[in-house]
Chains A and B, each alone.
Chain A
Amino acid sequence: MRTDWTIYLTFLGVGLILLLPRAAKNLIRWTALLTGAAGLAVALQNYLAYNAWLAENQPLRDAFWHLADVVWIPTLGVRYHLAVDGLNFPLVLLNGIVCVTGILFSWNIEERVKEFFAFFLTLIAGVYGVFMAMDLFVLFVFYELAIVPKYFIIAIWGSTRKEYGAMKLVLYSFVGSAAVFVAILVTFFAGGGQTFDILYLARHPIASSLQVWVFPLMFAGFAVLAGLWPFHTWAPTGHVAAPTAASMLLAGVVMKLGSYGCLRAGMLLFPAGLLHWQWWIATLAVVGILYGAAVALVQKDFKFIIGYSSVSHMGFVLLGLATLNRDGMSGAVLQMFSHGIVASLLFAVVGRMVYDRTHTRQLDELGGLAKTLPFACVTFVVAGAASMGMPGFSGFVAEIQVLIGAFKMSPWLAALAASSIAVTAAYILNAIHKVFYGDEDDHHGTTSSHPLPPISVPEIVASLILMAVLVVIGLYPSVMLDMIQTNVDLFLKGLR
């Protein structure tokens, strides 16, 4: 099956779930899981095939696999054009992985199961669509389609100021997409008013004088979702308010929608605008990296730590993109994938394994969980190590590349960004210390009168999947990095 079947299979899953009776909770869960697994299987199989194809067919002028390209709305020249290359394939795969593990971590949801998985899978399908769309109109359609389910998932199944967090998140994304909308209209008419096709518009860029102000609209519009400082404030509140699976999706995949949009629709279409604004982006990205890390350091709420760490790590993605060289950009794309996995794992431990059992996320109230929940402890240590950029995990490969790229651009920026790694280590180690070791007296972790429920099978399976991916990419990065680098080279060649 072609990769675009991930979208259709997921929508099919939504349809099936809507038809099932609401009381058949287990049936609904299994349907959702099978849907997610089918999508992942299709993505993985094609990923491997593409990887092999790429290795055999060097050098290439064009590394796209076109999946569908049919006229949708002739009046506006809209084509339903989907394609994959080395820049979006890792993200498609990431979406599949986060979908399956997210469903496994949501196994314990008992309330309104049917609606939950329907919204969840709609969001997943929209995300698949954004990653594969090669037509600005189609991309925008999928992008907006992915916004609304987030509101309901957070507002219905969330915690801590859930309605506020949900509304803030949705409005931020929608305001961002308003900027994108304006930019798309201008690009369309300045490009001749015939087509929204990204690849065509990239080959025929619009006038430089326009690019200078259209580029920031498009880039910033998407960067809102990527958590670019100072538009990041939706991220911590949204992550904290969301239920576990939604936090995983938000930090793991939805933030990548933003950075991917910046890359595909922002940078590719406006080379002149990009060069004009390159330093601004890099500077804001570094501010975000440092700011996120510093704020994470002083948080008292376990989930807020991870929330702010996401802002910090997404800063690396944007910094890498702004370097406009091979190392930096390859690192950025790999970081999108790597952070997606790491953040999912971290949120799974915090939200599902710890919070659902202890019903608190305050660092001061937690402690000694290493004894009662050893599996959670191991998982968090692994994810935390990857987050800190420990060699052997994917985070290291990605961040080191970004830093090398940034160094080539400006040693000062690189040094500032690198200094955040120490801060990251500090807040991660602090969290591990307080939550899993720490003082045992009067803490939820050790209250013997209420033994914590043991870690369930779905949680273990999902954690193992995510950890395995971290280690595989960390030890053998070329399964992903080669593909990315080839495509980054082509991308950079196209810019010149």
Chain B
Amino acid sequence: MSGGYMQLFCALSSEIVLALAGLGVLALDLLAGRQREVAARRQLAGTVTLMGLALAVAPLLWQLGLLDVPLLGKTLVVSPLTILFKFVLLLLALLTVLISMEHEIGRHVGEYFALLLFGTIGMLLLVSTEEFLTLFVALELTSISLYALTAFHKDSLRSQEAALKYFLFGAVASAFLLFGLSYIYGLTGASHLRDIGAALAGKEADPLLGVGLLCVLVGLGFKVAMVPFHLWAPDAYEGAPTPVTAFIATGSKVASFFVLVKVMMLGFEAAGGSACWRGFESGWVMVLAVTAAASMLLGNCVAIVQHNVKRLLAYSSIAHAGYILIGLVAATSTGAVAVLFYVIVYALTNLGAFGVVAALASQAGGDEMEDFNGMAKRAPFLSALMLVFVLSLAGIPPLGGFFGKFYLFAAAVQRDSQSFGLLWLVALGIVMSAVSLYYYLILMKHIYVLPAKEETRIVTPGHVQLALLLCAIGVLALGLWPEPLLKLLKTFVIGL
């Protein structure tokens, strides 16, 4: 074992802090919370969780001293990129907790926040590991926490159904993943991504590898909700408590896409193939190109007929998985930068959008589109923020979503800039984002154009408004001034 225990402790310090905070919240709620009102318990547990998350940010700086030190035989990796993404994930968790504190989540307050923290730990591990078994364990930790969180509306049948669906699909996907990993281990004798990459380099395509790779793609494709592994998403998004939906749609997405990029580009670069028009070669790039096209088509077309805001956003997130995959299809470092940039923008945007839904839905009487009629009068500030988030999802400048999409598409075109081999996929993506504007505007029509059912103002606590405002500012800033983050990602992504 290389590296001392001290270094290992340092590398895992954020996770350790979170684990302690999770246990602390459970204990605190058990000991001090039971006699209080649920709202007061939420405030108490939420504050402790917030403190835990804030404390977990500090060690990230400490880890800067650990760059390029192999830990646990290269199982854990500390690089500027992992530190950046851990920071993003902690930020997303923080904002989720802020929204959760004002949301009805039932009696099991301590468990709720503890599960949120445990899920976050899984995500942090997903970012930092390059070894398949650890990766699997981290993935399961995240997933199981999220399954349980989805079911947290205990008296809602929808929530139960959603959780069951999510769990069943997830369990099968995990089985596929593990099965695929066993094949790959059998072929290469390695479980570290870089070793696998080295073992596969220069080899002939092996049908067994194809089977293994496909199974891995099923497992990871489920996590990022790409077609045809998307079926859980609409139900889970709609049924879960809205803050949980926000977390599934953002934190889990960020971590999963990070893993997908890492696995594909480090481990299986040799088995990529090509999706360029008239130059198709079999490989995972081809598979992802087809699923990307299918995700964009299905997500956008089905979103048009939705009446529920959360369901609409679920289909939109399937469509976005398609856009993001385009960057991966490019299979270049620019493509990877584009994916990571877009995932960050997308997470901020979606967290904001679900945050607004969470803040408004309880007082508006539901999360159907009709419930949001005339929101511009009842909650002008949050409506304006929603406008920003939705337009960013639609890819309207000068918001982050526009630049992110632009860069994704540019990366794909750049892949084969002589004969524009990936233009078919890019053109499909661009046309589909024109389609998406339709349903986003329908949503905005409900908020801005149609008359309200009642005129009462909706009041939201200041800190929730502030959190959402920060999301909106982030979205705007990443659109107006994308260069710093882009440059950071570009320098970091080289070694991945």
Contact = CB atoms under 8 A, between A and B. Distances in A.
Contacts of A151: 441, 444
A68 interface: no
B413 A74 contact: no
Q: How large is the interface on A (under 10, 10 to 19, 20 to 34, 35 or more residues)?
A: 20 to 34
Interface string A173-191: 0110110011001101110
Contacts of A115: 376
A75 B409 CA distance: 14
A163 B433 CA distance: 20
Given A75-B486, A167-B438, A170-B437, A188 B410 contact: yes
Contact of A174 (B423, B434, B444): B434
Most buried by B among A137, A147, A155, A189: A189
Given A148-B396, A185-B410, A163 B445 contact: yes
Contact of A141 (B397, B413, B448, B449): B397
A174 B406 CA distance: 15
A74 B437 contact: no
A268 to B, nearest CB: 22
A145 interface: yes
A167 B304 CA distance: 13
Which of B407, B409, B426, B434 is the most central at the interface, judged by chain A CB atoms within 10 Å of its CB?
B434
A145 B449 contact: no
A144 B397 contact: yes
B396 A145 contact: yes
Interface in A55-80: 72-76
A254 B323 CA distance: 30
Contacts of A174: 434, 437
B267 to A, nearest CB: 27
Contacts of A170: 437, 441
Contact of A75 (B402, B413, B449, B483): B483
Given A147-B396, A167-B441, A73 B482 contact: yes
Contact of A145 (B397, B417, B445, B483): B397
Interface string B405-446: 011011001100100100100110011011001100100110
Contacts of A189: 410, 413-414, 417, 420
A74 B487 CA distance: 9
User: Which of B406, B423, B426, B486 has most chain A Cβ within 10 Å?
Assistant: B406
A426 interface: no
A163 B444 CA distance: 12
B391 to A, nearest CB: 6
B490 interface: yes
B398 interface: yes
A76 to B, nearest CB: 7
Given A171-B437, A178-B430, A155 B410 contact: no
A185 B415 CA distance: 12
Contact of B420 (A137, A152, A186): A186
Contacts of A163: 445, 449
B396 A156 contact: no
Contacts of B449: 152, 155-156, 163
Contacts of A137: 406
Contacts of B444: 151-152
A374 interface: no
Interface in A126-144: 137, 140-142, 144
A136 to B, nearest CB: 11
Nearest to A137: B406
A204 to B, nearest CB: 15
A141 B417 contact: no
Contacts of A186: 413, 420, 423
Contacts of B403: 73
A446 B189 CA distance: 94
A152 B387 CA distance: 11
Nearest to B433: A178
A144 B402 contact: yes
A148 B391 CA distance: 9
A361 to B, nearest CB: 22
Contacts of A411: none
A191 B423 CA distance: 16
Contacts of B420: 186, 189
Nearest to A73: B483
Contacts of B438: 167, 171
Contacts of A178: 430-431, 433-434
Interface string B383-408: 00000000100001110001100110
Contacts of A140: 397
A417 B338 CA distance: 49
Interface in B345-398: 376, 391, 396-398
B427 A182 contact: yes
Given A74-B483, A185-B413, A141 B402 contact: yes
A460 B448 CA distance: 32
A185 B414 CA distance: 9
24 contacts: A74-B483, A75-B490, A140-B397, A141-B402, A144-B396, A144-B397, A145-B397, A145-B398, A147-B396, A152-B444, A152-B448, A152-B449, A155-B449, A156-B449, A170-B441, A171-B434, A171-B437, A174-B434, A174-B437, A178-B431, A185-B410, A185-B423, A185-B426, A189-B420
Interface of A: 72-76, 115, 137, 140-142, 144-145, 147-148, 151-152, 155-156, 163, 167, 170-171, 174-175, 177-178, 181-182, 185-186, 188-190, 193
Given A178-B430, A182-B430, A185-B423, 14 more contacts: A73-B486, A75-B483, A75-B490, A144-B397, A144-B402, A145-B398, A152-B444, A163-B449, A177-B434, A181-B409, A181-B430, A185-B409, A185-B413, A188-B410
